[in-house]
Structure 1
Amino acid sequence: MSTPSSLRMVPARVLDVGGGTGVHAEWLVKDGYDVTLVDPVPRHVEAASAVCPAVVGDARELPESDDAFDVVQLFGPLYHLPDPADRRRALAEASRVAKPGGLIAAAAINRYASLFEHVTYAHLHAERIHDSVSKILETAVYDGARGFTLSYFHRAEELVAELVASGLEDVRVFGIEGPAWSLVKAAEQQPGDGPTEDLIASALAAARLAEPYPELLSASSHLLAVGKVAAGIDS
């Protein structure tokens, strides 16, 4: 017997801001979500169009109407916007297009990620790398001179503060990889078969165990903050 149309679940609408070629949108679509993607790079949008509706746009001025989405995810814009005013605009735009009570999920690169990562490559002691990482720790900004793009690196408490300042409620922050990710990455760099299944399982267990303890967030490579848009007041 088919489900009456009035009882069918309407999929949540998700706006994937800075979604690139659709790497995150693809699995959301497969799980039944109604996804729209926005990215500033035309060739990314062209590729993502094979996954979901996709348009060229800027996180600071979204080409979407007010109160249109149940979830807005920014899995890149905040760390590609080193100017705090630009990050505020991106978060304000995400809140504008989200429904009252909707969720905003924003990713950030951890301030200390480059220090941990370059230890795993065993070249942090090299003068050029050492000076570059030292500057990131001091200024929170990478200038994009070599390898990676211009980027901003957050501390966990700073990321929470930015979401709260934008008016979001019930903000929580998670360490995406957890405190043992660098051990797995170091094992990948060594000769041989790479990290064992037991090491990967242990790293996942460490990530889950660390979630209630904010002081362990600084050991993760990336951070994910989730907040709720304030619900409207009925007249």
Structure 2
Amino acid sequence: MTDSQKCIIGLVFYPGMTALDVIGPQQVFIGLPGVELHRLWKTLEPIKTDDGMMVVPDTTFEDCPQLDVVCIGGGVGQGAVEDDPEVLAFLSKQGSTAKFVTSVCGGSIFLAKAGLLEGYRAATHWAARENLAQLGVEVGTERVVVDRNRITGGGVTAGIDFALTIASIIYGEEIAKITQLILEYNPAPPFDVGSPEKAGTELVDKAMFFVQEMSNLKVTQ
């Protein structure tokens, strides 16, 4: 893609979402040349994320242009939204024409329910892998899964890796590398337990209990 070409990217926001799922990719995307970014929801009213932060969409589903990249993330509160017919219809419509159909974390559940992952491999948050598999999707455990024009990231922080992967595909490796350097994305976590494969059964079980407790709390609120 040349600097004169426009890439229209749409990030779907919704109540109960995990902000970092899309805020991470947004930070990558806004630094790329020619990007027109839309923060999408049914209305332009402020949205409360699952950590209590308020975010404001700037484009409604109705006013959204045809997207080159459509992306949705996950969140503790996604269960209340992932069967919403308006959301699924929007994803299905945009997904039928977008150059890249994408998600981060539990966002792949939305894509599957919108009929956009049939015959594709996809990543998701480790705690949602079983749910995604039950929807007939071949689940990949990689941090980012690229299957033709379906690009999906694992849980939460994988969104940055995911976005840099998209940047490399669309703009080339050099632009993606420059973007990574500008963001000083040089992760050095204090613990090597960032995936269930590394964390071990005991820690995974404790983390799963915590995730379930958070989800139950969200449902009763």
TM-score (norm 2): 0.40
